[in-house]
Structure 1
Amino acid sequence: MKKVSMVAMGLLLAAAQVSAAEASDGTINFTGTIASQTCTVSVNGAGSTATVTLPKVAASVLNAAGTVAGNTRFTLALSDCSATTGDVYAYFEQGAGVNANGRLTNTGTATGVDLQLLDNANNAINAGSSEQSTAPATVALTDGAGTLSYSAQYYATAAAEAGTVASTVNYSINYL
């Protein structure tokens, strides 16, 4: 009998401590919206997935780390946006094609070269970095439409060797 009373007392004390530990001080509610698509995007008029072709440049132009060439403009035209007004920006995401410096890794046969993304003011974009969200290059939507302008260029990581250059980057459109 004494053993049963000791076990019962132990369970009672444990239950009392659990309920005291689970007392709440408040509630946080979360809300959000999942949209089928926020905007229709067209990269250089070719849909949301497109290819930007940079010009052919001589390897001798990219003869040292940090040299750049072949600046090529491209646009992300937004239409049918669920918000008709407000500011939007493109966020270039971290992924397998982005290196630790935020540049796009070359998967082609050329060596000593990455691709670098630039905003409309020709400032380097560090793909995958939170810098893109803290001071983004935005465009104002008018009647649910707007155009974001960017460019890409070759960026030498060393003296470039001739060959092909290819890379990819994913992006998302964000509202402010």
Structure 2
Amino acid sequence: MKARSLSRCMYIALCGVSLLSFNTFAASQNTIRFQGEVNAQTCNVNINDATGSPIILLPTVSTASLNAAKSTAGKTPFTINLTGCVAPAAGTTQAININLAGNNISSTGDLLNTGTATNVALRLLDSSDKTINLSGGTATVNGMSLASGSTSASQNFSVEYYSDSGSAGAGTVLSSVQYSVSYP
């Protein structure tokens, strides 16, 4: 009888210790972090007049156009538009940066293809047709500004197929980039 009571006490003690350690584990692993910013300037953003998650459709190109190493094809323009901004005071301008981040980036800073085509990436270009290098995971493109008294601004970009090694294989080309707007 004493052995049974002792077993029962040990069982209850072990259950209690288990619950305590579970509560400690649960509390230390369940952290919610919040981050935000309060700014005097905010604008509505659209890309090619589409809000949400727009899709930029590139033209279909032949594998022959991406046969050579470092070849490009299918350059497609798109515009990031800002509307509903707070107008800067008379005689001043508001600088605006476009911040880009990619999750699937090549060593050359291009967007890797997640589609079925082989040896093809997507290259982003700024309004001067300079390559936007995302090899660090992010890139900031400046050059957009909000003129005094204006509540809207826009900046042109382009995207094109790029084959670093050449010999592109046929298939779909898919990729994405995240963007944000900052007002330095």
- TM-score normalised per structure 2: 0.69
- C-alpha separation between the residues in 2 aligned to 1:125 and 1:168? 14
Give 1:111's aligned amino acid.
T
Q: Name the CA distance, whole Å, in 1 between partners of 2:169 and 2:139.
A: 31
Aligned pair partner of 1:49 in 32, 47, 53: 53
From 40, 45, 48, the equivalent of 2:44 is: 40
> Equivalent of 2:66, from 62, 78, 101?
62
Q: Which residue of 2 aligns with 1:163?
A: 171
Helix, strand or coil: the match of 1:124? coil
Measured against aligned partners, the alpha-carbon deviations of 1:97-144 in whole angstroms (never above 9, x if no partner) come to 3233221110111000000000011000012649944xx441221323
SS state at 1:112 partner? coil
- Matching of residue 112 in structure 1 with residue 116 in structure 2: no
Indicate yes or no: 2:113 matched with 1:97.
no
Q: How far apart, in 1, do the equivalents of 2:176 and 2:129 lie?
A: 20
| Match 1:140 to one of 142, 145, 153 | 145
Residue of structure 2 aligned with 1:124, choices 131, 135, 151: 131
Deviation at 1:58, TM superposition (A): 0.3
1:34 to partner: Cα distance:
2.4
Instruction: Letter of the 1:145 partner, please give it.
Output: S
Q: Secondary structure at the match of 1:98?
A: coil
Question: Secondary structure at 2:46's aligned position in 1?
Answer: strand
Return the TM-score normalized by structure 1: 0.72
- Structure 1 counterpart of 2:178, one-letter code: N
Kindly provide the amino acid, as one letter, of the partner of residue 99 in structure 1. Answer: S
Aligned identity (percent) is 37
What 5-or-longer segments of structure 2 have no aligned partner?
Answer: 1-35
The Cα RMSD (Å) is 2.4
Corresponding residue for residue 94 of structure 2? 86
In the TM superposition, what whole-angstrom CA distance separates every residue of 1:40-67 from its partner, at most 9, and x where no partner exists? Answer: 1111111142000111100011002210
